[in-house]
Chain A
């Protein structure tokens, strides 16, 4: 079972360790972590607008949000702190996100096999039952030795994180 406290620190490390990277560019945050389930938030920003006339954010920013949120849901379902590469991702856009409001994402790992973690997620604003987008994303698991090595490599970096 995943160590949720360590996972929380890993999330914090990932989004903050490399100033100026894509996490900073999108200002993505994780708001809740459970075993197999992760909630994240993407604040509204002018820089992710896809249609300058309407102010609606581009689908690509939602793809990044759902990919990241699903990726952490995958890690949260595993014993090791093993960052699994995304194998594939499909996003269905149900409606345009309303401008000037954050978008929330909720993703879960609904099946873990020896090689693959199967995840699904939803992006929404006011009401999770009126979603902006849905996604399914599959992640390939690292070999157990690589996974254990990665955990060992990551753990020292987590010590300084609150």
Chain B
């Protein structure tokens, strides 16, 4: 029987190859959402941003149509998890302690983007801020923050 690659190994591969997609491909929930990641060129050698292409299985309201708030929240939480893994020297999946989201605009059925920033990294606890937008980067559809425990 072939041994499947452990998640710690996948995380290490993703970190050394700067390839968060390896983690996305290994996590069923990230695949269900259909999220992707890209590095945007910036002065520091690329900023990680996350992309949620329109996918029917993320729709919550068919008449608008609009994305399900839970899918937007899940996307942001998943983005924050991967951001932590890609920006820190950790190989265990960080444990989310709490997650708080403000929905400020309806999430239309179109391309959605998220960027994360680590507000504070302590020995155990990491605070991450997450922004999500669609066509206009300056018009967030939701902002969130999450606390993660890391080992």
Chain A interfacial positions (CB closer than 8 Å to B) = 17-18, 20-26, 46-53, 57-61, 63-65, 67-68, 71, 83, 85-93, 96
> Which single member of A18, A48, A65 contacts B62 (CB below 8 Å)?
A18
Chain B interfacial positions (CB closer than 8 Å to A) = 6-7, 26-33, 56-62, 67-71, 73-75, 77-78, 81, 93, 95-103, 106
Asked if B57 and A65 sit within 8 Å, CB to CB, the answer is: no
> Which single member of A17, A60, A68, A88 contacts B29 (CB below 8 Å)?
A60
Asked if B102 and A87 sit within 8 Å, CB to CB, the answer is: yes
If A18-B62, A21-B56, A57-B29 touch, whether A64 touches B71 (CB-CB below 8 Å) is yes
Separation of A52 and B22 alpha carbons in the complex (Å)? 13
Asked if A22 and B68 sit within 8 Å, CB to CB, the answer is: yes
Nearest CB of B to A99, in Å: 12
If A18-B62, A20-B56 touch, whether A86 touches B28 (CB-CB below 8 Å) is no
Asked if B74 and A60 sit within 8 Å, CB to CB, the answer is: yes
Q: Using Cβ atoms and an 8 Å threshold, which residues of chain B touch A67?
A: 69-70, 73
> Which single member of B27, B60, B98, B101 contacts A58 (CB below 8 Å)?
B27
How many residue pairs, one in A and one in B, have C-beta atoms under 8 Å apart?
Answer: 125
Separation of A59 and B71 alpha carbons in the complex (Å)? 11
Q: Using Cβ atoms and an 8 Å threshold, which residues of chain B touch A89?
A: 69, 73, 100-101, 103
Asked if B74 and A58 sit within 8 Å, CB to CB, the answer is: yes
For residue A83, which residue of chain B has the nearest CB? B61
Separation of A50 and B78 alpha carbons in the complex (Å)? 8
Nearest CB of B to A20, in Å: 5
Asked if A21 and B57 sit within 8 Å, CB to CB, the answer is: yes
Nearest CB of B to A119, in Å: 13
Separation of A21 and B101 alpha carbons in the complex (Å)? 22
> Which single member of B28, B60, B100 contacts A22 (CB below 8 Å)?
B60
Asked if A48 and B32 sit within 8 Å, CB to CB, the answer is: yes
Separation of A96 and B97 alpha carbons in the complex (Å)? 10
Q: Using Cβ atoms and an 8 Å threshold, which residues of chain A touch B97?
A: 92-93
Separation of A23 and B59 alpha carbons in the complex (Å)? 8
> Which single member of B7, B57, B102 contacts A24 (CB below 8 Å)?
B57
If A21-B57, A63-B77 touch, whether A48 touches B28 (CB-CB below 8 Å) is yes
Asked if A93 and B96 sit within 8 Å, CB to CB, the answer is: yes
Q: Using Cβ atoms and an 8 Å threshold, which residues of chain A touch B93?
A: 50-51
Asked if A49 and B28 sit within 8 Å, CB to CB, the answer is: yes
Separation of A93 and B70 alpha carbons in the complex (Å)? 15
Q: Using Cβ atoms and an 8 Å threshold, which residues of chain B touch A91?
A: 98-100
For residue A90, which residue of chain B has the nearest CB? B100
For residue A88, which residue of chain B has the nearest CB? B102
Q: Using Cβ atoms and an 8 Å threshold, which residues of chain B touch A63?
A: 70, 73-74, 77, 99, 101
Nearest CB of A to B19, in Å: 17
Q: Using Cβ atoms and an 8 Å threshold, which residues of chain B touch A64?
A: 68-71, 73-74
Asked if A90 and B99 sit within 8 Å, CB to CB, the answer is: yes
List 18 additional contacts besides A64-B71, A68-B68; criterion CB under 8 Å.
Answer: A20-B56, A22-B68, A47-B28, A48-B32, A50-B78, A51-B93, A52-B7, A58-B78, A59-B96, A60-B70, A61-B74, A63-B70, A64-B68, A64-B69, A64-B70, A64-B74, A87-B103, A96-B95
